[in-house]
Structures are given as C-alpha cells and as structure tokens.
C-alpha cells in the first residue's frame, strides 16, 4: 500500500468485465422492440455507468416514464438472454484482485448494473463473498451522485482520502470526485483515455495489470 490507499472500488462493466459490446447490442435491440431508432455505438457507450432508466431517458428523452419502463424491461430481457454466458473478465483482473486481497486491500464494486445482474455475474465468477461490499444502481443513487461510494466508505470505515475508484466512464470519475476520492481511469472500456483524462484521475491505464504496478510505485506514462 505504498500510496496510502486502503480501499479499492471497481466499476464492473468495461472495467472488470468485457461487456461493452454486449450492452450496445442489447440497447439497440431493445430500441427496435420499443419502436425507436437505434443509437450509435458511441452514444450508447456514453451512457454506460448510469442507472438503466436514466440511461434510456438520456438516449431517448422524448419517452414518457411508462415508455421508459417498457424499454427498460425489453433491455433487461434481451441482455439476460445475451448474457447466458456472462461476459469474460479482462485479462489480468483475476490475478490482480487476488494479489490486492493478499496485500491487504479492502475491495468493493460500485456499478450501474441492477442487483439481480450483479449477483448473477458475481456468482458466475465464484465471487459471492470475495468483495467487502458491492453496491448496485437500483439500491442506491445512480452515478455520478456520490451516495454509492459514501455507503461503501461507511461500511468499510475508510475515509475518502484512503480510497480509490477505478472506472472506464466519466460518470465513475465524476462520482469519485463528488465523494472526495481519487480515481483511476481505464481506457479499454467505454471511453478513451484522452477523454477520461479531462476528469482528473490520478493515473490513466490501458491494461488492468497496470493498476497494481502503479500502486506499487511504478510510473505509468500519460495517454497521448
């Protein structure tokens, strides 16, 4: 713990799990079911991290609340069908998390997924009891509101300055800032490192294993 952090908090989709393509596919299939035009890949990537209802409203602001709810159910059904075999974890995730645990870090997940979906992927990876705490978007305030992180900090008894949020979206980094926490940007998920660098992360990484290197004192070059 050379940098003084005690608690590492991870986003799920696009940070730990390679699920962005599946999310884009499910969102546009749900749009077709709802009679709406598909969104561009970049537009869908731009809402990943938000709670599902808010994400749909952002992409389709003309929809009434009951239409958003029907769209949300279409998406949930389609994504669950696509995700019968849960999206794989990125290379280096399992080894790094095991190493962080062995080194004494507290570990948590803060995700825009719903609890049902999060529990399913945790179980698929044998991680039901691995993390100190996990928070899902349908049981708290969605990103970038800091409540999700504040609940994690309170559960773990850790001050914001001793915790680090790791994520692939602007919402992750904004949430960390709103909670008074440092963040790490990962550039292999929803957004480029160049875009994420504008939100003030401590470091930008393009491979998950670089997080352990950085925490151990290695310098990681800035994105070009």
Domain extents for the chain?
A: 7-18+88-215, 20-82
Whether 89 contacts 82, CB under 8 Å:
no
Positive or negative, the Cα torsion across 8, 97, 168, 217? positive
Average confidence score pLDDT of the chain: 94
Q: Which CATH number fits domain 20-82: 3.60.21, 1.20.120, 1.10.150, 1.10.3470?
A: 1.10.150
Cα separation of 132 and 119, whole Å? 14
pLDDT tens profile 189-201: 989 999 999 999 9
For the stretch 11-66, pLDDT in tens is 999 999 999 999 999 999 999 999 999 999 999 999 988 889 999 999 999 999 99
What are 149-191's pLDDT values in tens digits? 999 999 999 999 999 999 999 999 999 999 999 999 999 998 9
Domain 7-18+88-215 falls in which CATH fold?
A: Rossmann fold (3.40.50)
Contacts 24+ apart (CB under 8 A), 39-45: 45/20, 45/190, 45/191
Contacts of 193 (CB under 8 A, 6+ apart): 185, 187, 204, 206, 223
End-to-end CA distance of the chain: 28
Asked whether the whole model's pTM tops 0.75, one would answer yes
């Amino acid at each position: 713990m050379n940098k003084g952090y005690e608690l590492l908090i991870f986003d799920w989709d696009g940070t730990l799990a390679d699920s962005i393509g599946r999310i884009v596919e499910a969102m546009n299939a749900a749009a077709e079911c709802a009679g709406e035009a598909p969104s561009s890949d970049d537009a869908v990537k731009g809402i990943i991290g938000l709670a599902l209802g808010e994400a749909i409203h952002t992409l389709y602001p003309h929809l009434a609340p009951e239409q958003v709810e029907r769209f949300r159910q279409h998406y949930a059904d389609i994504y669950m069908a696509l995700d019968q075999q849960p999206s794989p974890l990125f290379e280096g995730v399992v080894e790094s998390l095991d190493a962080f645990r062995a080194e004494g870090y507290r570990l948590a997940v803060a995700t825009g997924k719903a609890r049902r979906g999060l529990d399913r992927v945790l179980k698929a990876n044998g991680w039901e009891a691995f993390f100190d705490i996990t928070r899902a978007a349908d049981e708290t305030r969605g990103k970038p509101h800091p409540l999700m992180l504040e609940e994690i900090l309170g559960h773990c008894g850790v001050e914001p300055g001793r915790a680090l949020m790791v994520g692939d979206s602007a919402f992750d980094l904004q949430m960390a800032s709103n909670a008074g926490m440092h963040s790490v940007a990962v550039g292999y998920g929803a957004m480029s490192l160049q875009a994420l660098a504008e939100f003030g992360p401590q470091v930008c990484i393009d491979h998950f294993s670089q997080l352990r290197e950085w925490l151990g004192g290695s310098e990681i070059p800035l994105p070009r």
